[in-house]
Amino acid sequence: MRKLNSPYIVKCIDSFFLRDNLYIVTEYCEGGDLFDTTRKFKEAGLKLEDDFIFKVFIEICLAVSECHDNDNGRYPTPLADAQCLRSTLDTAIHL
């Protein structure tokens, strides 16, 4: 995961085991995650704009493509491990 360098994937800073638990340290994601974003809209009685949904979909596709391009059969899909995407709006979206 540390070798990935994409504007659509949150960067992995470090990882370590502590008491049989794996901890993954990532860059700070000011925008929060996608679940929280959709929940806030729902609680406010608002709907996500089609442009936003389309943008998120495109960024997910680009992130998955980046993971597969860098796979070389050595890494598990980082997207499944990190479950985060970086938005081009200078915020991050976590899945």
Beta bridge partners, 16, equal 23
The whole-model pTM stands at: 0.59
Beta bridge partners, 94, equal 84
Q: So what's the pLDDT on residue 58? A: 92
What are the pLDDT tens digits along the chain (95 aa)? 667 777 778 888 888 999 989 998 988 877 777 888 888 889 999 988 999 999 989 988 988 888 877 665 554 544 444 445 554 444 545 44
Cα–Cα separations (whole angstroms), residue 62 to 41, 46, 81: 25, 27, 16
Q: Are 25 and 13 in contact (CB under 8 A)?
A: yes
Phi-psi region of 90 (alpha: psi -120 to 50; beta: other; left: phi over 0): left
Q: So what's the pLDDT on residue 54? A: 93
Active-site amino acid positions? 81
Q: So what's the pLDDT on residue 72? A: 55
